[in-house]
Structure 1
């Protein structure tokens, strides 16, 4: 199972000091956080994509390419790549380059985003959000898997004789996660192609996440990719820790109360009781995270949000120390207990290479493209 963090890249005033970091400072701090993710032994760093203030990650692959040069082991992912407003040709190119720069330590998480105005900014109609997701992704898959692409759709100009450059590293496209908070059609899209499904999970009660993951697992099996247990699931989560739980609550409360995402709404206590947000001791984070398996089954990736709402860099790095030293080692052991043998590990570039080799050995006449149809 993979453990890591994701960032939304917000530039937010620290309510305890009144200080707001500059955009340059926030970007550099994000790089420092990613390096710390590797240092403390986590597996994944993921960044969102936003095109409006107060967020700075408008070019995720640029940021991840820089981080790739400064790290050696961690998987570099997006926590949202906008499949609706980004052109699929550009997505294919950018992530192929990132694959080569990172030696394959790359995957991609596709989503529709949560900012309505972004659609006209990029020449799209928000009323076409779901059709754009389906059509753009269908083209993206072909661009990564076919040497020459002739394509025609309804929402984009056609392609004739197009060849992607560079091609995916080793001929293996990045693994794709489809991310959603509330949209069952996204779970259906992930299931149809046999891709991963990432339930954002941070704003909704467990019953909603359970329904979304169950839908994805059921439809994954329906489309012939394996049993529901073999489906690839990821979850988001939010934590804030101190060794003493009351210290954590007291320190985090002003950040929660003024956060642009959920401030001025339910109380901290209400939110932690209704959602995966955990504010307390490392032991409390361990207990609550272990409970996720009770309603989604065994899954492959857990990402935590820890650097938002104006929290200073020093505090974020302290959170990473606690995750790496006290929380994740316990969670790795506990999640391994009783994990059925048929539950697959989270895909990596190397595991996808091995799967292709196995497919080609089983069907010697298959072309590389045919061997990747269900990857």
Structure 2
């Protein structure tokens, strides 16, 4: 089981002080957070691509290259790279380049994104979101696996004996996760290729995401890749932990209720019981996270958001210290899956 953190690099005021970090502070802070996550023994640091305020993560591969220079072992991933509005050629080259900088500890999560206005900004039609995702990923796979690609499709100019440079490190492309909130077609795509399937597990009940995971597992097996329980599943979530439950709920409450998307799940106590948000003492957080396996079955990756909604970097580091000392060791023992680690030998 890989355990790590993911985020989207939002810049919003701390609702308790009104203070807002600068873009530079937020960008450089991502490196400090990733290094701290590595130091406490986490396995993954992931950052998602956004192009609209209040996010600073428009260039995810550049941010991860910066993080690569501050770390040595932690896996570098995205959460998400937009397969719909990016050119597959640029994705292929950017992430192969990142491999040569960071070594084999690079993977990628692809998704359609959830900001409608991004599509016209990049000359795309949101009504073509699913066909774009399907066609662009088919091309991306070929660009990583074939030295010379001749290709034509619906959404970009044809390629004639094109070679994406640099080539993937040691000839092995980054492992691919497909992230989704509401699209069974993306789960189907992941199952077709035997790639990983990741549900963000936030903002809605865990039971909602279970339906997509179950569908992906069934289609993974029906596509001939093994048993449903062999499918490669990842899940998100969020953590706010303090030594006591009362302290955690009291301190996190203003961050939760000022977050327009997070708070859509209802009262904080309800969200902490029914969604992927884990708030409370270390044991309460552990107990809630352990319920995810009841819904998703044996899964291979668990990522948590800890730096969103105006939570200042100081508190993020306090969270990491407590997670490292009082949460992570137990999670590692409890979340060990009986299924062989699919990431150690991904189907390419």
Superposition TM-score, scaled by structure 2 size: 0.98
| Alignment match, 1:236 | 236
Distance 1:131 1:264, change over 3 A: closer
| C-alpha distance in structure 1 between counterparts of 2:37 and 2:262, whole Å | 26
Give SS of 1:104's match.
Answer: coil
CA deviation after TM superposition for structure 1 residue 260, in Å: 3.6
Q: For 1:51-200, what aligned pairs fall within 5 Å after superposition?
A: 51-200=51-200
Give the unaligned 5+ runs of structure 2: none
| C-alpha distance in structure 1 between counterparts of 2:20 and 2:259, whole Å | 13
| C-alpha distance in structure 2 between counterparts of 1:186 and 1:141, whole Å | 15
Give SS of 2:237's match.
Answer: strand
| C-alpha distance in structure 1 between counterparts of 2:191 and 2:321, whole Å | 36
On the 8 A contact 1:242/1:280 being kept in 2, the answer is yes
CA deviation after TM superposition for structure 1 residue 344, in Å: 2.6
Q: Would you say how many aligned residue pairs link Structure 1 and Structure 2?
A: 348
| Alignment match, 1:247 | 247
| C-alpha distance in structure 2 between counterparts of 1:74 and 1:284, whole Å | 26
Q: CA RMSD in A?
A: 1.2
On the 8 A contact 1:232/1:344 being kept in 2, the answer is no
| Alignment match, 1:344 | 340
| C-alpha distance in structure 1 between counterparts of 2:33 and 2:70, whole Å | 12
Give SS of 2:236's match.
Answer: strand
| C-alpha distance in structure 2 between counterparts of 1:38 and 1:276, whole Å | 22
| C-alpha distance in structure 1 between counterparts of 2:343 and 2:306, whole Å | 24
How far does the alpha carbon of each residue in 1:349-373 deviate from its partner, in whole angstroms, 9 at most, with x for none?
A: xx45xxxxxxxxxxxxxxxxxxxxx
CA deviation after TM superposition for structure 1 residue 170, in Å: 0.4
How far does the alpha carbon of each residue in 1:211-233 deviate from its partner, in whole angstroms, 9 at most, with x for none?
A: 11110011001111111111100
Give SS of 1:26's match.
Answer: helix
- Asked if 1:277 corresponds to 2:277, the answer is yes
| C-alpha distance in structure 2 between counterparts of 1:187 and 1:99, whole Å | 26
| Alignment match, 1:289 | 289
How far does the alpha carbon of each residue in 1:138-174 deviate from its partner, in whole angstroms, 9 at most, with x for none?
A: 0000000001000011111111110111100000000
CA deviation after TM superposition for structure 1 residue 205, in Å: 1.1
| Alignment match, 2:261 | 261
Give the unaligned 5+ runs of structure 1: 353-373
| C-alpha distance in structure 2 between counterparts of 1:71 and 1:107, whole Å | 15
Distance 1:172 1:265, change over 3 A: closer
| C-alpha distance in structure 2 between counterparts of 1:265 and 1:173, whole Å | 37
CA deviation after TM superposition for structure 1 residue 270, in Å: 2.4
How far does the alpha carbon of each residue in 1:22-77 deviate from its partner, in whole angstroms, 9 at most, with x for none?
A: 11111111111011111111000000100011000000100101111111100000
Superposition TM-score, scaled by structure 1 size: 0.91
How far does the alpha carbon of each residue in 1:89-123 deviate from its partner, in whole angstroms, 9 at most, with x for none?
A: 00000000001101111000000111000001011
CA deviation after TM superposition for structure 1 residue 263, in Å: 3.8
Give SS of 1:46's match.
Answer: strand
On the 8 A contact 1:96/1:166 being kept in 2, the answer is yes
| C-alpha distance in structure 1 between counterparts of 2:265 and 2:322, whole Å | 28
On the 8 A contact 2:80/2:179 being kept in 1, the answer is yes
Quick check: which has more Rg, 1 or 2? 1
On the 8 A contact 2:204/2:265 being kept in 1, the answer is no
